[in-house]
Amino acid sequence: MLKLLAPDVKIITTQKGAALVEGFFGIKDNIQVVKTGDELDLGKGKKLKFTEIPNVHWPETMVTYEEDSKILFSSDAFGSFGVHKGCLFDDQTPDINKQYWEDEMLRYYANIVATFSPMVLKAIDSLSGVDIKMIAPSHGLVWRGNPKAVINKYLRYANYNKDFAEPEICVVWGSMYGNTEIMLNAVLKGIAMEKVPVYVHRVPNVDPSFVLSDAYKSAGLVIGAPTYEYGMFPPMKYNLELFQKKHLWYKKVAFFGSYGWSGGALKDFESLSEKMKWDTLNPLTFKGHPTSEELKKGEELGRELASQVKNIPSKKKDENY
Ligand SMILES: Cc1cc2nc3c(=O)[nH]c(=O)nc-3n(C[C@H](O)[C@H](O)[C@H](O)COP(=O)(O)O)c2cc1C
């Protein structure tokens, strides 16, 4: 688009960026390749300094720092989803919208960046000591009032898949005929007894990006899925495979689900949970409609998971946002 408006514009990018520009747009001319530490004097006191932060999120990602105004153009790092609602800057957003932006930042992180958390930590490390007055990412709010807040959030999110996350539970469930749904209510009753915050998502009704976001931050997960053709109910399998791609590791997890004759959902769950290094409670599977004894067990399952999640040491909340 920029090339259409200004055909003579020079593209400044990394070596990997140059290959992508050619691959995506067929552009080979007027490209200047830069690397970490390179500087570009724009005149009038403005100087750009480049730092490569590969794989946050694509391989060519680089941040650009303008020394005079102390602005960090951070590319995919420190971005958010969300619609601007009339405000471009964090210091313009009314307090009532702050939770919205926090949710959208986490949803962006979980869906776009989570797989690359080690690179995020490395990138944050490489920026330590840089005096930053404003962070202008390619997506979402521009952070002018409190740029440190977005760095702290990213630091927190990057640790979710190498450490325990928030002491909360994300319940993901699906049901064709309602049998697994009956058990869901028993499990939720058990969780409620321990007063642990809970998010409940039905698949495939909820967009997987929202499921992923709540599951990513929660230390505890509940997966409720019936058997379908000797395996797991496909929409649930899709969501769990997404969890695997985004490295939702080290969760405490409870599984339940109804089957008709052979079962099979549990086998798929076990194989996926092993790949994600999950700490699982005894699974609860049942034939058709759950009995009252099985429902009691469901309640106990929810309560046990919630009590374990409650006892995970909570990370200190960052005060800056
Ligand atoms: C398309 C389809 C395929 C199924 N495949 C199996 C199967 O392979 N093995 C099995 O034990 N039950 C199978 N079932 C039975 C369901 O697992 C059983 O009805 C269960 O109670 C459904 O739980 P729900 O009411 O929560 O949907 C199948 C049901 C459907 C509709």
Q: What is the pLDDT of residues 305-314, one digit of tens each?
A: 999 999 886 6
The per-residue pLDDT of the chain, averaged, comes to 94
- Nearest alpha-carbon partner for 165 in 11, 278, 15: 278
Confidence band for 320, pLDDT divided at 50, 70 and 90: very low
Pocket test for ligand 1, best of 172, 185, 228 (most atoms within 8 A of CB): 228
Phi-psi region for residue 204, left (φ > 0), alpha (ψ -120 to 50) or beta? alpha
Backbone angles phi, psi at 253, to 5 degrees: -135, 140
Q: What's the pLDDT at 150? A: 93
Q: Is the pLDDT of residue 268 over 80?
A: yes
For the chain, domains (ranges, CATH) are 36-160 (3.60.15.10), 166-307 (3.40.50.360)
Q: Is the pLDDT of residue 77 over 70?
A: yes
Q: Is the pLDDT of residue 178 over 90?
A: yes
Confidence band for 319, pLDDT divided at 50, 70 and 90: very low
Residue 259 near ligand 1, beta carbon < 6 Å: yes
Q: Determine which of 60-64, 81-85, 165-169, 224-228 has the lowest per-residue pLDDT on average.
A: 81-85
Spatial distance between the Cα atoms of 91 and 113, rounded to a whole number of angstroms: 25
**Residue 49 pairs with which residues in a beta bridge?**
39, 65
**Residue 284 pairs with which residues in a beta bridge?**
256
Spatial distance between the Cα atoms of 252 and 249, rounded to a whole number of angstroms: 9
Report the residue count for the chain.
321
- Nearest alpha-carbon partner for 194 in 280, 272, 304, 297: 304
**Arithmetic mean of pLDDT, 47-54:** 95
Confidence band for 83, pLDDT divided at 50, 70 and 90: confident
Residue 289 near ligand 1, beta carbon < 6 Å: no
**Arithmetic mean of pLDDT, 173-192:** 98
Q: What is the pLDDT of residues 194-206, one digit of tens each?
A: 999 999 999 999 9
Q: What's the pLDDT at 314? A: 61
Confidence band for 321, pLDDT divided at 50, 70 and 90: very low
Q: What's the pLDDT at 128? A: 86
What is the number of the ligand 1 atom nearest to the C-alpha of 180?
Answer: 26
Spatial distance between the Cα atoms of 40 and 275, rounded to a whole number of angstroms: 45
Residue 177 near ligand 1, beta carbon < 6 Å: yes
Q: What percent of the chain shows pLDDT beyond 90? A: 87
Is the peptide bond between 204 and the residue preceding it cis, with omega within 30 degrees of 0?
yes
Spatial distance between the Cα atoms of 257 and 203, rounded to a whole number of angstroms: 14
Q: Determine which of 20-24, 113-117, 164-168 has the lowest per-residue pLDDT on average.
A: 164-168
Q: What's the pLDDT at 311? A: 87
Q: Is the pLDDT of residue 68 over 80?
A: yes
Pocket test for ligand 1, best of 183, 202, 233, 259 (most atoms within 8 A of CB): 259
Q: What's the pLDDT at 315? A: 57
Q: Is the pLDDT of residue 85 over 90?
A: no
CA of 270 to the centre of ligand 1 (A): 18
Residue 174 near ligand 1, beta carbon < 6 Å: no
Task: Tell me the pairing of strands 252-259 and 284-287.
Answer: parallel
Q: What's the pLDDT at 312? A: 81
Rg, C-alpha atoms of the chain:
23
Q: What is the pLDDT of residues 10-41, one digit of tens each?
A: 999 999 999 999 999 999 999 999 999 999 99
CA of 228 to the centre of ligand 1 (A): 5
Confidence band for 1, pLDDT divided at 50, 70 and 90: confident
Q: Is the pLDDT of residue 174 over 80?
A: yes
Question: Which residue is it, tokens 């995506």?
Answer: 24
Nearest residue (by CA) to ligand 1, atom 19, is 260
